[in-house]
């Protein structure tokens, strides 16, 4: 394992080094220490390597991640794994606002809680949160799944498109066009697989599923009060 100490190396040097790795690299295991809130840490990785970050990164950790597997032994700032393409990002602690924003693929696991707008505008990513999520999570969520083992804040799934939301705890309120939907065997199986992939123990049968009522997909005057 290659260890990079950010007390003695800059984020720029580290990211550039990681970006230059060829897909067939033998340098597959990395450990980053002393992140101390550094922003854009491991942003833009695009090869299948494994990175462990010991400490707390700042904004946009693992941004646009592609293929890499990143584990954070700490808490993360805003925009964790934003626009993630593939691979896996796991945070042992909590994540701040907009975790997994616009993510297109891969698996994001937050073992603790996530802040506001978790999964905002998500486009295919799967997000599993061990704890709770804040206000406006899955706002305008287009695709993928958001699994929340705890509670969800107000306006969950506001203006949601085709994303699937699975919430075990209380939902403070649903946003415009977001409704509770029937948990079919198909959805139950999918949720079970997601929880298993995330390594989080929970009973899928205790979750409720939410999604789009699809009433706002085309403008209509009689729905004006929903906007």
Instruction: Give Cβ neighbours of residue 168 (< 8 Å, ≥ 6 apart).
Output: 148, 149, 150, 202, 206, 207, 208
Instruction: Give Cβ neighbours of residue 186 (< 8 Å, ≥ 6 apart).
Output: none
Distances (CA, A) of 141 to 9, 35, 145, 178, 195: 37, 31, 9, 10, 20
What token pair was written down for 133?
Answer: 């999520």
Report the number of secondary-structure helices (H) and strands (E) in the chain. Answer: 2, 11
- Closer CB to other proteins, 83 or 168, in the complex: 83
- Closer CB to other proteins, 34 or 142, in the complex: 142
Report if residue 219 touches other proteins, rule: CB under 8 A.
Answer: yes
Task: Name the β-bridge partners of 73.
Answer: 54
What token pair was written down for 150?
Answer: 């705890």
User: 35, 69, 82, 90: which one contacts other proteins (CB under 8 A)?
Assistant: 82
- Closer CB to other proteins, 162 or 196, in the complex: 162
Instruction: Give Cβ neighbours of residue 180 (< 8 Å, ≥ 6 apart).
Output: 174, 208, 209, 210
Report if residue 93 touches other proteins, rule: CB under 8 A.
Answer: no
User: 33, 52, 85, 213: which one contacts other proteins (CB under 8 A)?
Assistant: 85
What token pair was written down for 96?
Answer: 């701040």
Report if residue 207 touches other proteins, rule: CB under 8 A.
Answer: no
User: 56, 75, 90, 117: which one contacts other proteins (CB under 8 A)?
Assistant: 117
Report if residue 98 touches other proteins, rule: CB under 8 A.
Answer: yes
- Closer CB to other proteins, 77 or 204, in the complex: 77
Number of residues counted as binding other proteins (CB under 8 A): 44
CB neighbour class for 16 (10 Å; exposed up to 12, middle 13-18, buried from 19):
exposed
- Closer CB to other proteins, 53 or 195, in the complex: 53
Which residues, numbered 160-179, are part of the site for other proteins (CB under 8 A)? 161-162
Report if residue 101 touches other proteins, rule: CB under 8 A.
Answer: yes
Report if residue 64 touches other proteins, rule: CB under 8 A.
Answer: yes
Footprint of other proteins on this chain (CB under 8 A)?
Answer: 11-12, 15-16, 19, 39-40, 43-44, 46, 58-60, 63-64, 66, 78-79, 82-83, 85, 97-98, 101-102, 104, 117, 120-121, 123-124, 139-140, 142-143, 159, 161-162, 217-219, 221-222, 224
């Amino acid at each position: 394992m290659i260890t990079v100490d950010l007390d003695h190396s800059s984020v720029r040097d580290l990211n550039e080094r990681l970006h230059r790795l060829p897909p067939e690299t033998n340098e597959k295991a990395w450990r980053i220490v002393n992140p101390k809130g550094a922003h854009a840490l491991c942003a833009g990785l695009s090869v299948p390597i494994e990175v462990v970050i010991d400490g707390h990164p700042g904004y946009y950790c693992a941004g646009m991640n592609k293929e890499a597997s990143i584990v954070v032994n700490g808490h993360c700032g805003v925009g964790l794994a934003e626009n993630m393409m593939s691979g896996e990002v796991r945070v042992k602690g909590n994540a701040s606002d907009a975790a997994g924003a616009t993510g297109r693929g891969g698996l994001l696991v937050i073992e603790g809680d996530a802040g506001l707008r978790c999964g905002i505008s998500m486009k295919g990513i799967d997000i599993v949160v061990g704890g709770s999520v804040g206000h406006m999570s899955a706002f305008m969520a287009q695709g993928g799944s958001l699994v929340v083992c705890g509670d969800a804040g107000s306006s969950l799934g506001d203006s949601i498109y085709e994303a699937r939301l699975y919430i075990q705890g209380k939902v403070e309120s649903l946003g415009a066009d977001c409704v509770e939907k029937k948990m079919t065997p198909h959805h139950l199986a999918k949720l079970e697989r997601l929880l298993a992939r995330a390594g989080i123990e929970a009973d899928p049968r205790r979750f409720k599923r939410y999604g789009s009522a699809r009433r706002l997909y085309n403008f209509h005057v009689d729905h004006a009060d929903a906007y």
